[in-house]
Amino acid sequence: MLGTWAGSGEGSYPTIESFGYVEEVTFGHVGKPFFAYSQKTRHAETGLPLHAESGYWRFLPGDDDAPSLRPVELVMAHPTGVAELLSGVFIAEGSGGAFELSCPNVVTTASAVLVERTTRQFRFDGDTLSYDVAMAAVGQPLTHHLSATLTRRC
């Protein structure tokens, strides 16, 4: 996971027009059992900034009876006043694996758009990272929102 990843994705939601974006994600190690995470996106056509988020991936001790499953938590903040406290598992697969994470209760500031729930799936396979994000927000049920494929740059 460590390094900088870049690529493109597509976003949609019932309350907005669909859009394409380019993205850069960085996973850094700080000598503790967690990774620092930062992400930023730009509109695919205009190059204007769209979104950013940052946080920490926390890897928890696994179950000796299920070594290919490892509990993980993702603590993430958005500059729009949204905070996600996701939990789930890492499932080891071949040269990578998959993360299945959910946040049943998103925390928002008084001025933030109402986001109630999120789920995120990340798949790592060698130097390829892909993901899908769903959210329940602004009165909509849990619905697909984002998907992207990134490759490791360094």
Give the mean pLDDT of 62-67: 73
Report the candidate in 5, 57, 53, 6 with the shortest Cα–Cα distance to residue 36. Answer: 57
Q: What pLDDT was estimated at residue 68?
A: 76
Q: What pLDDT was estimated at residue 55?
A: 97
Tally the domains of the chain.
1
Gap between the Cα atoms of 112 and 95, Å rounded: 39
- Give the range of the structural domain holding residue 38, as residue numbers without chain letter: 3-152
Measured at the CA of 75, the angle between CA 2 and CA 65, to 5 degrees, comes to 75
Question: What letter does residue 2 receive in the DSSP assignment?
Answer: -
Beta bridge partners of 45: none
**pLDDT tens, residue by residue, 117-147:** 999 999 999 999 999 999 999 999 999 999 9
Name every residue whose Cβ is closer than 8 Å to that of residue 84 and which is 6 or more positions away in sequence.
55, 74, 75, 76, 77, 78, 103, 106, 107, 118
Q: What pLDDT was estimated at residue 69?
A: 85
Report the DSSP pairing between strands 69-78 and 96-103: unpaired
Give the mean pLDDT of 83-97: 92
CATH code, 92: 2.40.128.20
Measured at the CA of 143, the angle between CA 22 and CA 98, to 5 degrees, comes to 65
